[in-house]
Chain A
Amino acid sequence: MKKNEHDRRNLMGLALGGFTALGGLGALYAVKRTWDPLPSVKAAGFTTIDLSGAEENVLNIEKWRGKPIFVLKKSKDMKPDDRDVIVGSDRFHISIGLCTHLGCIPAYISDEKKFKCACHGGEFDSSGHQTFGPPPSPLEIPPFKVNGTTLVLGEEGSEFLKMKAAGIIA
């Protein structure tokens, strides 16, 4: 092959390769977007919980965005914590009920006043702080808004924003 023919072929190859790569990138973006959660999944977002009937040291599990939500009314002998949600004169522990290790649901042992995860042995106290095992961080607090004696999950209320500003919620 003559040299100048070779160069012309190279140029055509580069041009073809470049446009193909461009199209490939576009296709990859489409692939990425297809795997994204659907708008309807994202929008199914708000859950209201009535806290007036809650009993002390009894764990209630609610559901929000498919995840379990821990609602625990603290008894007087439990240590108050900055992470508590205060409703009237009562303190509540509210968190996403998934172990921060790998997402199993810890069980609440009311006698010991702590959460224990069966998967890898992690433990959390009644304020959601990790006290034993592999969990790297406290139980996560979902976005919430206090509305009288009810709680709206999925909405960032003033108490939630205050916690966020204080650095309690990452």
Chain B
Amino acid sequence: MAKFEKAKSVHEWLDQRLAINTLQRVLSTEYWIPKDINFLWAMGLVLAVTFGLLLISGIFLLMYYKPDVATAFDSVNYTIMTEVGYGWLWRHIHGVAASVVFLIIYIHMFTGIYYGSYKKGREMIWISGMLLFVTFSAEAFSGYMLPWGQMSYWAGMVITNLFSGGSLEAYGLVEWIRGDYVPGDAFLTRFFMLHVFLLPLVIIGLIVFHFGTLRIPHVNNQEGEEIDFDEAAKLYKEGKKKESKVIPFNPVFLSKDVFVLGIYFVLFFYLVFFHFEFAMDPVNFDTADGLKTPPHIYPEWYFLWSYEILRPFSKDIGLIAFGIAQVALFFLPFIDRSPNVAPAHKRGLFKIWFWVFIVDMIILTILGKLPPQGIFNDLGLVAAIVFLLLGPALVVVTLKEKKL
């Protein structure tokens, strides 16, 4: 056994046993962040805190929610909303946060794309982030099933049917996923399990992993400059804070983050208290009915772009296009052939590519919400083809890019 001296304080006692001083130094007071950043660099903390809000509100919803097709709808819309003290608060926080978290995820992703924060050693940051995006999507979908309203049921029907693989007609697989011929009790209970246990566990693990991937390549900065972190840290520790290009995570970077977080909270709780209805689809306030399809089925806004890629094509081609759209972004660090780590406005054609990408995503999102008729079908087809062509276009654009 290691030798222990008598400790003079609780802090020292803990430090002897857990090395808390070293931990604090490595993880926070000497974890270095570049100075040359802006408010977009705070989205990581905003996301972590929003996930925390989802977790806490979820715990309170869990105490009265009943995962049973006969009682689920009432346990949410009657018990939690009208009987449980402040039950409405947890539900509205949970619903608003589930929607807003995707807005922040998209901002976080587009920031990374704009500043080239996914290459030259930062590939694993991007890939672990994409894994988080996919797991968050599964978490959002499984959560959407739980109130067991009309949209829950029919979204469950349509999304699980995707697994039949078009002409492969793998209905056995679809029935296996549902545990029934149609979404029913077995379906609701297993998606409940996924939503409240397995997927949150995976998400927490992935968040830790995502933080870990930042450790060696460090956070990018506004100019994509390669910083000698050892040298910059030395300057900072010597008191030459002005000359140093870095700041410690805690307390300097964190204080910037918390300021952004404060502004975010004002907007967030404004939505929770005064505009929660945007996150509550009126169709889902009708109980699930397997014999009545709502006149127009659409996913939540954050899935609309990929839904719109599925829609304008014939069944098989639509599925293939949809599949490509789901995984294409994972390969971004390898599709981008340019060696430059720089903001898009310094990368010539890439800047145009970036804004076409953003505009196309917005157009797909808008069209996904409109009924599949007439001109919208044609526009949707064009927007979907543009999306698919953006991949090969990026290879060409980045190969031609001049080295900065």
Question: Contact: A36 with B181, CB < 8 Å?
Answer: no
- The reply to whether the CB of B175 lies closer than 8 angstroms to some CB of chain A is yes
Q: Of B161, B181, B295, B371, which one neighbours A65 at CB under 8 angstroms?
A: B181
A132-170 contacts to B, CB under 8 A, are: 134-136, 170
Interface size class of A (residues with CB under 8 A): 20 to 34
Partner-binding segment picked from A9-17, A79-87, A114-122: A114-122
Question: Contact: A66 with B181, CB < 8 Å?
Answer: yes
- Chain B residues, Cβ within 8 Å of A170: 169
Q: Of A37, A101, A134, which one neighbours B175 at CB under 8 angstroms?
A: A37
Q: Write the nearest CB–CB distance from A130 to chain B, whole angstroms.
A: 10
- Chain A residues, Cβ within 8 Å of B162: 102
Chain A residues within 8 Å of B, Cβ to Cβ:
32, 35-38, 41, 61, 63, 65-68, 101-105, 107, 118-121, 134-136, 170
Q: Of B154, B166, B372, which one neighbours A120 at CB under 8 angstroms?
A: B372
Q: What is the CA–CA distance of A68 and B292 in the complex, to the nearest angstrom?
A: 9
Name the residue on A nearest B293 (C-beta). A105
Q: Of A32, A38, A61, A121, which one neighbours B373 at CB under 8 angstroms?
A: A121
Q: What is the CA–CA distance of A102 and B160 in the complex, to the nearest angstrom?
A: 9
Question: Contact: B158 with A35, CB < 8 Å?
Answer: no
Partner-binding segment picked from B77-85, B125-133, B182-190: B182-190
- The reply to whether the CB of B179 lies closer than 8 angstroms to some CB of chain A is yes
- The reply to whether the CB of B36 lies closer than 8 angstroms to some CB of chain A is no
Partner-binding segment picked from B105-113, B249-257, B312-320, B390-398: B312-320
Q: Write the nearest CB–CB distance from B250 to chain A, whole angstroms.
A: 42
- The reply to whether the CB of B267 lies closer than 8 angstroms to some CB of chain A is no
- Determine chain A's interface SS by DSSP, over half rule: loop
Known: A102-B161, A119-B372; 5 extra A-B contacts, CB below 8 A, are A35-B190, A103-B157, A118-B294, A120-B372, A136-B315
Q: What is the CA–CA distance of A119 and B175 in the complex, to the nearest angstrom?
A: 21
Question: Contact: B313 with A41, CB < 8 Å?
Answer: no
- Chain A residues, Cβ within 8 Å of B297: 104, 118-119
Name the residue on A nearest B290 (C-beta). A66
Question: Contact: B158 with A119, CB < 8 Å?
Answer: yes
Question: Contact: B372 with A37, CB < 8 Å?
Answer: no
Q: Write the nearest CB–CB distance from A105 to chain B, whole angstroms.
A: 4
Q: What is the 8 Å Cβ interface bit string for chain B, positions 42-84, against chain A (1 contact, 0 not)? A: 0000000000000000000000000000000000000000000
- The reply to whether the CB of B242 lies closer than 8 angstroms to some CB of chain A is no
Name the residue on B nearest A36 (C-beta). B176
Name the residue on A nearest B178 (C-beta). A37
Chain B residues within 8 Å of A, Cβ to Cβ:
154, 157-158, 161-162, 166-167, 169, 175-182, 184, 186, 190, 290-297, 311, 313-316, 318, 371-373, 377
Complex A-B: 26 CB contacts under 8 Å: A35-B177, A35-B179, A37-B175, A37-B179, A37-B186, A38-B179, A41-B179, A63-B291, A65-B182, A66-B182, A66-B184, A101-B315, A102-B157, A102-B158, A102-B161, A102-B162, A103-B158, A104-B157, A104-B293, A104-B297, A105-B293, A119-B158, A119-B296, A119-B297, A134-B318, A135-B315
Q: What is the CA–CA distance of A41 and B297 in the complex, to the nearest angstrom?
A: 27
Question: Contact: A119 with B293, CB < 8 Å?
Answer: yes
Q: What is the CA–CA distance of A105 and B186 in the complex, to the nearest angstrom?
A: 22
Name the residue on A nearest B156 (C-beta). A103
Q: What is the CA–CA distance of A2 and B311 in the complex, to the nearest angstrom?
A: 64
Question: Contact: B181 with A67, CB < 8 Å?
Answer: yes
Question: Contact: B179 with A66, CB < 8 Å?
Answer: no
Question: Contact: A121 with B377, CB < 8 Å?
Answer: yes
Q: What is the CA–CA distance of A19 and B293 in the complex, to the nearest angstrom?
A: 50
Question: Contact: A105 with B291, CB < 8 Å?
Answer: yes
Q: What is the CA–CA distance of A66 and B293 in the complex, to the nearest angstrom?
A: 13
Q: Write the nearest CB–CB distance from A28 to chain B, whole angstroms.
A: 13
Q: Write the nearest CB–CB distance from A31 to chain B, whole angstroms.
A: 11
- Chain B residues, Cβ within 8 Å of A37: 175-176, 178-181, 186
Q: Of B154, B167, B294, B371, which one neighbours A136 at CB under 8 angstroms?
A: B167
Question: Contact: A38 with B314, CB < 8 Å?
Answer: no
Question: Contact: A36 with B184, CB < 8 Å?
Answer: no
Question: Contact: B179 with A36, CB < 8 Å?
Answer: yes
Question: Contact: A38 with B290, CB < 8 Å?
Answer: no
Question: Contact: A67 with B290, CB < 8 Å?
Answer: yes
Q: What is the CA–CA distance of A170 and B168 in the complex, to the nearest angstrom?
A: 13
Name the residue on B nearest A66 (C-beta). B182
Question: Contact: B184 with A41, CB < 8 Å?
Answer: yes
**Shortest beta-carbon contacts, A-B, top 9:** A66-B182, A105-B293, A121-B372, A103-B161, A136-B315, A65-B181, A104-B293, A102-B158, A102-B161
Q: What is the CA–CA distance of A157 and B286 in the complex, to the nearest angstrom?
A: 38
